[in-house]
Structures are given as structure tokens and as C-alpha cells.
Amino acid sequence: MIAVLVAILILGRLAGSLWLSALNRSEVSRHADAPPPAAAAVMDGPTYSKAVAYTLARSLFGGVTEVFDAVVLAAAVLTGALPALYRGVSGWGSPGSAWAGALFVVICGVLLSLLSLPFDAWEQFRIESRFGFNRTSPGLWAADKAKGLGLGLALGFPVVWALLALVGWVGPLWWVWGAVLVTAVQLVMIVLYPMLILPLFNRLEPLPEGELRARLMALGEKTGFRAASIQVMDGSKRSGHSNAFFTGFGRFRRIVLFDTLVAQLSPLELEAVLAHEIGHYRCGHIPKRLALSTAGLFACLAAVAALAGSAWFNPAFGYPAGAAAPALLLCGLLGGLVTFWLSPLFNGLSRRHEYEADAFARDALGGPEGMVGALRKLAEKNLTNLTPHPWFSAFHYSHPTPFERERALTAAR
């Protein structure tokens, strides 16, 4: 009965997602030879055609990946393979052993991430390469994956172990303490990430002295954001895509600009990008996002605890009732089947924040020119799809489209 429901949920998400992608492809193809008039200000004809081809290639490949993922998910939750693994692994520890449970969850995580490697490689070395974005060598790619896996194990195993150990230590309310623990780990990681983890993958250097740095520091001063430093990251080592982001908080906050971004944008446009990032900070978006994700975490662990304690949930998937490790794994695997349908809600919130940060940048710079210029150039250099289908963007876009942002920036206040 539950197996049938889960199969329906898996097929439902797959069908929904493939249908959205097909809608998006037809919308893009419809505009392939008839670009919207506003596109001329963003990219020339040949670049527009290339952006269309890039969007279509990624969309078709994404469809193949989604079908594969659905088959893997169905095999993981609906066959006896993982329950057999669970029986084997839990035989190594005493009944209810937290470390055996954690080992089971981590082995499943590693197996699933190994299965996705060929798809990651294809995307990087076939699609990204074909459109001139890939700068990664196979050696660097393999080293990145190995480091990522090592980090995942080093961080994931202790956290899962602690969660499962809490079941024995504090009883039925373990999930409350578990959520507090995971939140604390996340806060520590936000501070440590730019200091310890980012440097494992990239070289970060302070923006060198000069006119650009002086302008950006003056902007920080003016907007009440005294950045400890503005750093430039060697994103060009891996990809031609450009970006900027904000990391850390409080005394540890810093703004990171990709070297590709610094090379592509004018000083005024870089000021706008920086002002946008400061906008997220000054409008309080970071604590809001943290609060939302913490609430989500409490809800998820409450669900895990309730389902693990129920007489029906684990047995429906071939696991013994009362065991927290399989319930944790199952919730991790199945959660996306529900949250997929909520993504327009979360994306809507994220977009509201993007509009607010854009407006902050416009006001800080005394006009929309810098922000509009930056958005146009980023869309051009990243071969952004200028005509996504509205339903597709509702499900997949955390940012409004470049045209939507430009319209909001230049609208009369």
C-alpha cells in the first residue's frame, strides 16, 4: 500500500518535472528565431542562438538525469537491497548501535553519490565543454570529487552518529536535541567554510589595491557594511561561469567575487553587484533564510522521530520498526518528493529577497545603470535563457529572470 503510494509520488514528480522541462523547451524553441525585442540589448544574434542551444542541450540532459534518478530512488526504497545491507551492517554492532546505524546511512549516501558521478562528468566534459565553459581538467575534477566525498564523510558521519546516539541518550525527544545540535554545527560551519573548506578547492586573495578596491571599500563604508575584506576567488580554474557570493556572518562575513566576474564587469557594475550582496545583508535576508531552514530542520527531524517510532513506517520498506537510522535515510530520500511541489513557494520568497537587494543596490548607487549593466553582461556571458516558461521558472528559479529584474529596477518608484 505504502509502496504503491511512494511509486505514485516518484512517478508524479518525474512526470511533473519532465513536463515542465518540455514546456520550457517549447517556449525557448518558439523564441529561437524570434528573440524578444529586449534581447538585443543583452546579446547579439549569434550569442542568442548559442544561449538557445545551451538551454536545450542542458534541458534534454537534465531529463535523462531525472529519469535515471527516479529509477535509482525507486530501487533504493522499493527493493530489498538496502534493507539487506542494513541487516548486514547492523549485525556488526550491538542492537540499536548508533555507529552501525550511522555507517549504514553513510554507505547509502556514498553509493548514491557514486552513481551520479558519470552524469556529473558528462555534464562537465561534454555539455559545459561544448559551450566553452569548462576549464576543469579530468584530474582536477577527480580530485574535487574525492575531496568532496572525504569532506562529506568527515562531516556527515559524526553528525549522523550523534543524532542516532541521542535516541539512546535522551529518548523520544531526541529530535529536539538533534535539531539544536545540527543547527549549532551549521552555524559553526558558516564561519569555518570560507576559512577552512573553500581554500581546499580555490585560491582566495584580497582584491588588490587600486581604483576598483578603493571604490568598493568606499561603497561598503557608505552602505554601513564594513567588510573585513573583499576577496577574489579563482573560479576560472574550473569554469567560465561568473558569480559573486556572501559568506560567513558577524565579524567573519566576507564577500567573494569570482575572478571571471572581475574580468567581465566594469567598475560601476562591480559596485552594483557588491551593493546587491550588501543589500541581502542590510535587509536581514541572511537571518531570515537561516530561521526558515532551521524551522524546516526541526520539522524534518520531528517527522523522522514520529515515523521511526511508528509501527508501520519502517516495516513498509523492509526495516524493523523503531530503528531510527532507516527512518532517517528514508526521510532523506523521500523528502524531495514532497518539497518539489513546494519549490514555487520557496523560490517566490527567494525572489522577493532578490528584488529587495536589487532595489537596495539601485538606491545605494543613485540609479539603476550599474545593476542593469551587470545583469545584462552576466546573462550574456553565462548564456542565460532569456525566455524561460513561467511555470518552469516558478519551480526552478531562485532568482527572477534578467528581464524581470531589469523591469523592476527601472520601474518608476
Q: Rank residues 262 and 361 by Cβ distance to Zn ion and give the closer one.
A: 361
Nearer to Zn ion, 135 or 351 (CB): 351
Nearer to Zn ion, 216 or 357 (CB): 357
Task: Round to whole Å and give the CA distance between 21 and 59.
Answer: 6
CA distance linking residue 21 with residue 28, whole number of Å: 10
The nearest distance, CB 353 to Zn ion, in angstroms, is: 7
Q: Give the residue from 265, 242, 271 showing the smallest Cα distance to 367.
A: 271
The footprint of Zn ion on residues 191-250 (CB under 5 A) is: none
Q: Is 269 a catalytic residue?
A: no
Q: Residues 29-68: x/- map of binding to Zn ion (CB under 5 A)? A: ----------------------------------------
* Beta strand 254-258 pairing with 204-206: unpaired
Cβ nearer to Zn ion, comparing 357 with 383 = 357
Q: Which residue's CB is nearer to Zn ion, number 164 or number 278?
A: 278
For Zn ion, the closer CB: 182 or 219? 219
- Looking only at residues 71 through 130 of this chain, which bind Zn ion when binding is defined by CB under 5 A? none
DSSP3 helix / strand / coil % (the chain, rounded to 5)? 75, 5, 20
Read out DSSP for 92-129?
TSSTT-HHHHHHHHHHHHHHHHHHHHHHHHHIIIIIIH
3-state secondary structure of 298: helix
Residue with cell 534578467: 402
**What is the C-alpha radius of gyration for the chain, rounded to an integer number of angstroms?**
23
Smallest gap from Cβ 110 to Zn ion, in A, equals: 33
Site string for Zn ion, 300-339 (x = CB under 5 A): ----------------------------------------
How many chain residues are in contact with Zn ion, going by CB under 5 A? 2
Q: Select which of 277, 354, 380, 406 is catalytic.
A: 277
Q: What angle do the packed helices 81-90 and 98-122 form, to 10 degrees? A: 140
The mark string for 353-372 relative to Zn ion (x by CB under 5 A, - otherwise) is: -x--x---------------
Closest distance of CB 67 from Zn ion, Å? 32
Under rule CB under 5 A, which residues in 336-355 are in contact with Zn ion? Answer: 354
Residue 277 C-beta: closest distance to Zn ion, Å = 7
Degrees, nearest 5: CA angle 185-190-196: 100
CA atoms within 13 A on the CB side of 239: 16
CB of residue 219 vs Zn ion: minimum separation in angstroms?
16
- H/E stretch holding 279: helix 267-282
Q: Considering the complex, what minimum distance in angstroms separates the CB of residue 276 from Zn ion? A: 6
- On whether the CB atoms of residues 385 and 58 are closer than 8 A, the answer is no
- 85, HSE (Cβ side, Cα atoms, 13 Å): 19
- Interface contacts to Zn ion, rule CB under 5 A: 354, 357
Which residues are marked as active site?
277
